[in-house]
Amino acid sequence: MDPLIFENGTLMVLDQTRLPAEVSYIEIHNHTHMAEAIRNLSIRGAPAIGAGAAYGIALGAKMIKEPDMAAFLEELDGVIKAITATRPTAQNLFRAAARMRQCAEQVGSPVLAKEALISEAKRIHREQYDQDMAISLHGLDVIPAGAAVLTHCNTGSLATAGYGTALGAIKLAHRHGKAVRVLATETRPLLQGARLTALELGEAGIPFELIADSAAGHYMARGKISLVITGADRIALNGDTANKIGTYTLAVLAGVHGLPFYIAAPLTTFDPAAATGNNIVIEERNTDEITFFNGVPSAPPNTPALNPAFDITPARLITAFITEQGLLRPGEICRIITRSA
């Protein structure tokens, strides 16, 4: 199950909103289609969004008729704006879009730019797998044999269009015979843990149990969890980390129970323009995701609700970041990522 397939000029996105019941692909013809697929979570997970956005921008560029380079770039900015207006927290989306813009600027004509953009999108997609494998290999250093790992949301191949970050490290530990077992949180409200992580763990043959998000403290108190590893949507320079709503609660619980709490993420998820978590925009989603369950009301009509998609885990609660360049303590981020204006 590949979340993103680009073959013979055709782009297909796995509709993750239908998993696990149905494996179906949507054909994406232009950037508007891709923006919609990102917005409605057909494609989700910060790195997969980045790769999908890159293809979306390349397809949008193909439709631009302008023969003049300056006018072409102006229209390309409109394409990029439409794509980046979808999910404000996912740093990889903005990183991929900036890289695509830079790629277009570097060639002399719209014809060449259109070709270069397709190649660049393929490169961004391909690089993800290598980054994920490097992250997963470094993850082996923090996962002891026989560990019970708690993870949140979905950070596997479905979330990165590669091998996975937090879930990549868990899968690799399993492949290395470390006899890991996993507690996967269901991840309310959209159940990325129940629908997607459970699917990936099952396919990989890794022993696991699905738990309600609110059961994590119970199992930590009973000594059933050795460590926590999650992914990230955006990481500030001081180490404050935005990830799926509920991550902060897990980090607090891990701290109280003396458990290591790791964030696995590629360097493309670090935001050189965010000094702290206060500079990270948290996506607020439609409250129907809270007041309805599978299209059926789960609260009285017109119940006021709040639906932040992410929260910020303060750096002090994070043991280390597992990146493709190795483990980074929060205080070491500035050594690798330099602040941008």
Q: Which residues bind ligand MRU (CB under 6 A)?
A: 44-47, 153, 155, 159-160, 165, 192, 230-233, 243-244, 309
Q: Are 5 and 25 in contact (CB under 8 A)?
A: yes
- State how far the Cα of 128 lies from the Cα of 121, in Å rounded to an integer: 11
Shortest CB 196 distance to ligand MRU, Å: 8
Least gap, CB of 90 to ligand MRU (angstroms) = 6
Q: Where are the alpha helices (DSSP H) in the chain?
A: 31-39, 46-62, 69-84, 91-105, 110-139, 157-160, 166-175, 192, 198-204, 216-221, 247-256, 288-291, 333-336
Q: How far is CA 172 from the centre of its chain?
A: 19
CB–CB of 54/7 below 8 Å? no
| Helix runs in 26-68, H state only | 31-39, 46-62
Tell me which residue has its CB nearest to ligand MRU: 231
Selected catalytic residue, list 233, 240, 271, 311: 233
Q: How far is the CB of 190 from ligand MRU (least distance, A)?
A: 7
Is 233 tagged catalytic?
yes
Comparing CB distances to ligand MRU, the nearer of 192 and 291 is: 192
d(CA 273, CA 236) in angstroms, rounded, equals: 8
By C-beta, is 131 or 238 nearer to ligand MRU? 131
Q: What tokens were used for 254?
A: 């891990």
Nearer to ligand MRU, 232 or 236 (CB): 232
Least CB distance to ligand MRU at residue 174 (A): 18
- Report yes or no: 242 and 310 within 8 Å, Cβ to Cβ: yes
C-alpha–C-alpha distance, residues 151 and 204, integer Å: 15
Q: CB of residue 284 vs ligand MRU: minimum separation in angstroms?
A: 12
Nearer to ligand MRU, 103 or 268 (CB): 268
Nearer to ligand MRU, 47 or 60 (CB): 47
Nearest to 250 by CA among 288, 286, 211: 211
Active site residues: 233
